[in-house]
Amino acid sequence: MSKVLGVKELKMIDELVALYVANQEPLKRVLSSIQGYIDSSKRLNLLIHSVKSRLKDPEHLKDKLIRKGIEAKEKKISFPYTKENFFSQINDLAGYRIIHLHTKQFEEIHAELKRIFSEQQWIIIEGPKAKTWDDESRDYFKHIGVGVAKSPNLYTSVHYIVKPNRSAQITCEIQVRTLMEEVWGEVDHTINYPHKSEVYSIREQIKVLARVTSSCSRLVDSIFSTHDDHSTNKIDNSKAKNASKKIISKGKTSKSSKSTKT
């Protein structure tokens, strides 16, 4: 693939990768700050199943830059990245992932993330944006006011791009997804990324896995919805029983006081 690019372009890409490798400490501090905010939020600790963080693999970065270079050449435009804009334009050098159990938890997670970033004066550059291929999932996110983007490769996740302050160049990509979506993502990322598998049957099986995990997500959503309804009914029934007991108790007290007077 790199044969399409010239020596000068490939040299620039190598220099950008070297720049990234030499300047990873600020990215690590950004991830550490986000982790600290998550750890200190009692609300998020009740909602989140697990978290992951990572710095982009230099080889994956190089591969991405080569692809972008080829796209630019095909469109007959300039290569979009320079040493000056590199950290502000490549938004996934640092990645933080929040994994939760069922879909409706996202609304509370989003509200708490917004509160944290506002309190810490972080900037949300982009998002939340739900990348999804599933119509029901797309409708859900639209209903709660979240932007959506089509995902033809069957990837599903909600994305944010954030940075520590207005003057910062370094950004971080935050992903929020369900545990079932994480299963598909891990399999696809291991076998099908950064290049698609050459084995047709594997590519087809990964598509099937996307549909299976989507169905599993719906089943988990249904289980939690039923559980919540059952818990609410138990509370309502308990309140009704307590109210009845109080009424009966008051009635007995009233009769008792009358008989005492006679």
User: Where residue 138 sits, what CATH number does that domain have?
Assistant: 3.30.460.10
Q: Is residue 209 part of a domain?
A: no
Q: Which domain holds residue 53?
A: 2-176
Q: What is the structure's pLDDT at 122?
A: 97
Q: Which residues contact 158 (CB under 8 A, 6 or more apart)?
A: 106, 110, 127, 128, 129, 130, 131, 141, 146, 175, 176, 177
Q: Is residue 190 part of a domain?
A: no
Q: Is residue 241 part of a domain?
A: no
- Tell me which DSSP letter residue 92 carries: T
- Model pTM score: 0.85
How much is the average pLDDT of 147-155? 90
How much is the average pLDDT of 93-104? 97
Q: Is residue 49 part of a domain?
A: yes
The number of folded domains in the chain is: 1
- Tell me which DSSP letter residue 194 carries: S
Which residue's entry shows tokens 């599933």? 134
Q: Is residue 106 part of a domain?
A: yes
- Min mean pLDDT across 27-36, 46-55, 134-143 is at 134-143
Contact 178, 102 (CB under 8 A): yes
How much is the average pLDDT of 88-101? 96
Q: What is the structure's pLDDT at 49?
A: 97
How much is the average pLDDT of 146-158? 92
Cα distance between residue 102 and residue 48, in whole Å:
10
Contact 53, 95 (CB under 8 A): yes
Q: What is the structure's pLDDT at 262?
A: 42
pLDDT at 173 over 80: yes
pLDDT tens column, 76-91: 999 999 999 999 999 9
Residue 160 pairs in a beta bridge with 174
pLDDT at 180 over 60: yes
pLDDT at 176 over 50: yes
Q: Is residue 188 part of a domain?
A: no
Average pLDDT, the chain: 90
Q: Is residue 242 part of a domain?
A: no
Q: What is the structure's pLDDT at 242?
A: 64
Cα distance between residue 186 and residue 180, in whole Å:
10
How much is the average pLDDT of 126-140? 93
Both tokens assigned to 4: 């399409």
Cα distance between residue 149 and residue 126, in whole Å:
13
Strand (E) or helix (H) holding 172: strand 172-178
